A and B are shown apart, each in its own frame.
Chain A
Amino acid sequence: MKASTERLILITGALVMIIGMPLVIALALLLGKIPFEEVLTTHPLVIIPYAFVKIGWGLIWAIVAVDWVVHGSHGIRRVLIEFIKSERGRKIIDLVLNIVMVITGIIMFYVLVFVS
């Protein structure tokens, strides 16, 4: 895969999160699915996932969270390969990070959709 394609994946992931997350939360507020007073008085880590699940968009939240995992893995890869200069070392880093990314992504999707 070309390096520019990989960068495009990172950028697309970033845009999904930067635009997607605030948009869904704002829509949830505007549509009245969660009371505004609750948003202003509740711990953010409690209200944000609730907002997604409450409006039945748990699946979208799961997609955003998996996208988080992909973006995060690519980001960490970028930092790690600065320190590893050999081709073999970089291939090992790629392999390890891809495995971590896939496993974490699957588990993230599963726990967001199927675990209450």
Chain B
Amino acid sequence: MPALTVKVKRFDGKKSWWQEYKVDIKSRKISVLDVLVKIKEEQDPTLAIRYSCRMAICGSCGMVINGVPRLACQTLLAEIKDDTITVEPMWNHRVIKDLVVDTEPNFEKLRKVKPYIIRDLKEIYESDMEIGQKPEELEKYYNFAYCIECGLCMAACPILATNDRFLGPMALNAAYRWSADSRDRGWEERAKIIDAEDGVWPCHLAYTCSAVCPRGVDPGFSIQLLKASLIRRAKRVL
């Protein structure tokens, strides 16, 4: 197996530079995350990477690999035909160190759209009613509920590159997911939040968010459904 060349964009708080590592690998059936951990263990313990589950469920290891925002644990070397891998931190985020970025702004935007069931609590506590959901009602929002909040869509969005006040695909997808839930009654409240200059309207259909989503969530489409619901002044999301 030829040695792999891994170029990592480093940042130490003051300056940024590209550092190259040569890694001997025995198989291409390992992930980019495995290679980075190997580098950290054997060559450079100062390399900062964020990871957790190693199986594309936690969303921690988002980074830009060979020019595409991807999860490092999900990107196998077999998919990258090249013997040179370029790894850099997620775009549109403030870099803390090396490949670790500040994801707090993403979660602040997520909290703004009230990502929970909004319903009259009196109704729930004072009656014995069961709030059920039919399979077709679940189907309406189920795909959009797969979001693991990895932030790759936020990294891929060209609008966030110039306007960091834009809510972004992650938050807007959550706004759709919760508003489309048949148990929720909070569409009017969320509509006021997203029908704003920096709400849903800066989106201009670049659709890269859906192209890079590791879970197939399609946040781009949920944003268009929100826009259609707002323009049509719908009582419930489409």
Contacts and interface: CB of A to CB of B under 8 A. Distances in A.
Interface of A: 2-4, 6-8, 11, 78, 81-83, 85, 90
The 9 closest A-B pairs by CB, nearest first: A82-B163, A4-B230, A82-B162, A3-B201, A4-B195, A3-B195, A3-B196, A3-B197, A4-B231
Contacts of B115: none
19 contacts: A3-B195, A3-B197, A3-B199, A3-B201, A4-B230, A6-B201, A7-B227, A7-B231, A11-B231, A78-B201, A78-B202, A78-B204, A81-B163, A81-B197, A82-B202, A83-B162, A83-B163, A85-B163, A85-B165
B158 to A, nearest CB: 10
Given A3-B195, A3-B196, A82-B202, A8 B162 contact: no
Interface of B: 159, 162-165, 195-197, 199, 201-202, 204, 227, 230-231, 233
Nearest to B161: A82
A7 B201 contact: yes
B172 to A, nearest CB: 13
A83 B163 CA distance: 6
Contacts of B197: 3, 81, 90
B164 to A, nearest CB: 8
A76 B196 CA distance: 18
B169 to A, nearest CB: 16
Contacts of B159: 82
A2 B233 CA distance: 12
A2 B231 contact: no
Contacts of B196: 3
A90 B199 CA distance: 15
Contacts of A11: 231
Given A3-B201, A4-B231, 18 more contacts: A2-B195, A3-B195, A3-B196, A3-B197, A4-B230, A6-B201, A7-B201, A7-B227, A8-B231, A78-B201, A78-B204, A82-B159, A82-B162, A82-B163, A82-B202, A83-B163, A85-B163, A85-B165
